[in-house]
Amino acid sequence: MAKVTGLGGVFFKCDNPKGMNEWYAKNLGLPTSEYGTTFEWREAGDPSKKGSTTWSTFPQDTKYFNPSAKPFMINYRVDDLVALVEELKKNNVTIVDEIVDYEYGKFVHVLDPEGNIIELWEPKEDTDQDKAVE
């Protein structure tokens, strides 16, 4: 069974994304850019595998969280996005869009029963072994 393997990111709307990024950088030490920040880590079960979790602010009028009206979106890392989407369809979960493939992984958006938008992400493999081969 395809499943969630971890938290990929936390995204939230705010009145002043730039100001929020600056506040978090100044007061909590987050190394922010205009896109927020990314925390890099290694998998406990296999330290050769790298991972990341993103924290990002968005303007109040962003359409990226649509059709949800909620001010946040959670991104979950998954191990097999295509298989998981097939399982979700069988369970009548609302699939918002089609799977898209970028250089850093595959993404799709779904809604939970209360209308919260969820971003599912199957990251591309990134291990130290991969770097040694390049």
pLDDT tens digit sequence for 1-40: 678 989 999 999 999 999 999 999 999 999 999 889 999 9
Domain containing residue 13: CATH number? 3.10.180.10
Question: For the chain, how many structural domains are there in total?
Answer: 1
* Position 82 in a domain: yes
* Position 1 in a domain: no
Rounded to whole angstroms, the Cα distance separating 101 from 5 reads: 19
**If DSSP codes are grouped into helix, strand and coil, which group holds residue 43?**
coil
Per-residue pLDDT reduced to its tens digit, 45-79: 889 988 899 999 999 999 999 999 999 999 999 99
* Position 26 in a domain: yes
Strands (E), 1-134: 4-14, 37-42, 50-59, 72-78, 100-102, 105-111, 117-123
pTM summary value: 0.86
* Position 94 in a domain: yes
* Position 13 in a domain: yes
Q: 46 is in which domain, residue-wise?
A: 8-133
* Position 113 in a domain: yes
* Position 2 in a domain: no
Structure tokens at 54: 């993103």
Structure tokens at 36: 């927020």
- From first CA to last CA, the distance across the chain in angstroms is 32
**φ and ψ at 87, to 5 degrees?**
-65, -45
* Position 37 in a domain: yes
pLDDT at 44: 87
